[in-house]
Structure 1
Amino acid sequence: MKIKVSEYRKKARASLEGQWGINAWIIFLSIVIGIVLQEIFGGFFPTGSTQSNIFNFLLQHVLVFAFTYGVYYISLVVVRGGQAKPNLLFAVFQKEYFVPILLINLFNAVVNWLINGIIFLPGFLIGGFNTYVDLLFNGNTAPQQIMPDYTIDLSFAVLTTLLFFVSLFAMTVVMGLFQFAAWTKFDYPKLTVIQSLRYAWFLLKDRIWTYLLLQLSFIGWYILGFIALFFGLLWVIVYVNVSIAEFYEQARIEKGSPMEYFSLG
């Protein structure tokens, strides 16, 4: 049964009836917690140092990430008729969830890094080649003279723009995959991380275009959120998260449980 993008948004609005405010507050709380943790632990090393960058990466991906996935968990609770509660932000810290969701988050970070590295490699190669040509034919030129003068190379600008959109497309799909994997792990704790990822891909693979259209349908809402300053975005994020949770729930209902999938596989 094919459902229109507008139907997912309609279902999300129905699920959020009477709960918009508390969900926006939870999003705000998750952001504040991240900022507070950064302030508490971020002063151990000089700002901008290698140690500081490594520490910030670890802080984000080993601790703060849990609150992002806690927000995802709450979105699924809302979709299923439950009540959003601030204490659910800490759901990931339950023993059965923390390590698997941590691994899902780390895999997500690594995959995004690899995708960007591969997609933007042609741009880096072209930039490096241009510098090499300048050095080759301007051997007596001072280093500061061969540095880019910020004039626009049209072909390079077009390539960079195309690569940006390819990267955005790939990262959006990857985000959906790992978000689905996290929800799968919440629903079926006995599955391994790999099984959760396989089932998430099973849910997403034949409806990627619909998923992308659903994400794109919120562009106007993001613009309105920016116009309404920071606080408007809180409601937009709530709307998006619950709509994507509706998308996951519909796919899971249509395709059956992972137990059925793996028994068939």
Structure 2
Amino acid sequence: MTVRISSIKKEARDALAGNWGIAVLLTLILVFFAGIVPIMFEIAASGGFENWVNQTEPSSSSSLFSLLISFAMIPFSVSVYWFFLHLVRGKRQSVGDVFSIYASIGTAFKMIGVSILIGIFVFLWFLLLIIPGIIKSFSYSQTFFILKDQPELSALEAISESKRRMKGYKWKYFVLYLSFIGWAFLSLFTLGIGYLWLMPYMQASLATFYNRHIATQGHEM
């Protein structure tokens, strides 16, 4: 059954109704730890705000700290994807549920490994040409959702499964992303504050896309 982009976005809005507070809070947590904390560390490492502004490149210690924070935040980011998948499936979660991914060290490290692997694959494709790199990033885009439904899959198996299921859906996925451009420009006029609502809207829409188009192929071989 063909599901229109407008229907996907409406279902996402319906899922977010009554859940905007926690969705925005999770976005704030991501922004704080992935963006603000590394900057605060760089300012402290450089000896103050003025020195930080005038420095030509960050110190090795602050670069290493930012890298470690990025790796540490990967499991949380994946768990946020899963939060929105639960949401569109009618299951409510708390912030504590999202952080619970760290309770399973194996799962947390697996998500880091999968993310690194996808990053390497996309980077290698981008070395060829930009367009193939973008297309391949769409092919791999469902990997983490698939791992939520099929955690027994290995990293390579989940990536391969994402590639298989995205055949014939990459253009629709691109159009879904494209449909948010207007909102992205409008958010700029709010000094970026609007992104705290735009990002949950996008994530819920992407989760709906998976739930409607990709998850249903789980038993097709």
Are residues 232 and 36 of structure 1, via their aligned partners in 2, closer, same or farther at CA, if it must alter by over 3 Å? closer
Aligned to 1:100: 110
Give the share of equivalent positions with the same residue, in percent. Answer: 22
TM-score normalised by L of structure 1: 0.69
Q: CA deviation at 1:254?
A: 3.1
Q: Is the 8 A contact 1:203 1:248 kept in 2?
A: no
Q: Counterpart of 1:81 in 2: which secondary structure?
A: coil
Deviations 1:204-228 (A, max 9, x none): 1211111111110111111121122
User: Could you say if the C-alpha distance between residues 190 and 10 of structure 1 is closer, same or farther in structure 2, counting changes exceeding 3 Å?
Assistant: same
Aligned pairs (5 A) from 1:105-120? 105-119=115-129
Query: Are 2:166 and 2:214, in contact at CA under 8 Å, matched by a contact in 1?
Result: no
Residue correspondence of structure 1 range 108-187 to structure 2 within 5 A: 108-119=118-129, 166=131, 170-171=133-134, 173-187=135-149
1:212-246 alpha-carbon deviations (Å, 9 max, x no partner): 11110111111121122222111111111110100
Which residue does 2:194 correspond to in 1? 232
Distance 1:220 1:236, change over 3 A: same
Counterpart CA distance in 2 for 1:83 and 1:53 is: 37
Q: Does 1:19 align with 2:19?
A: yes
Task: State the TM-score, normalized to the length of structure 2.
Answer: 0.82
Distance 1:44 1:66, change over 3 A: farther
* Corresponding residue number in structure 2 for 1:245: 207
Structure 1, residues 37-96: CA drift from partner, whole Å, max 9, x if none?
525765897773673476256325421222322221111111111224222332432234
Counterparts of 1:53 and 1:113, CA distance in 2: 24
Query: What is the aligned length?
Result: 211
Q: Which runs of 5+ in 1 are unaligned?
A: 120-162
The question of 1:71 aligning with 2:80 is answered yes
Mapped contact 1:92–1:101 kept (Cα < 8 A): no
Hey, what does 1:62 align to over in structure 2?
71
Partners of 2:95 and 2:73 in 1: CA distance: 15
Alignment partners' CA distance in 1, 2:148 and 2:79:
10
CA gap of 1:28–1:54, structure 2 versus 1, over 3 A, is: closer
Q: Give distance in 2, aligned partners of 1:91 and 1:3.
A: 33
Mean Cα displacement is larger for which, 104-113 or 14-23?
104-113
Gaps of 5+ in 2: 47-54
Q: Give the corresponding residue for 1:38.
A: 38
Alpha-carbon distance in structure 1 between the residues aligned to 2:70 and 2:180: 27
CA distance in 1, matches of 2:128, 2:59: 24
Whole-angstrom CA distance in 1 between matches of 2:28 and 2:181: 21
**Corresponding residue number in structure 2 for 1:206:** 168
1: CA distance, partners of 2:62 / 2:117:
19
- Does the C-alpha gap of structure 1 residues 91 and 248 become closer, same or farther in structure 2, counting only changes over 3 Å? farther
Counterpart residue type for residue 3 of structure 1? V
Q: Which has the higher helix share?
A: 1
Runs of 4+ with >3 A deviation: 39-47, 49-54, 173-179
Q: Aligned partners of 1:198 and 1:115: how far apart in 2?
A: 16
Corresponding residue for 2:95? Answer: 86
Larger radius of gyration: 1
**1:118 Cα deviation (Å)?**
2.5
Deviation per CA, 1:149-193, whole angstroms, max 9, x where unpaired? xxxxxxxxxxxxxx6xx37xx33x444444411111122111111
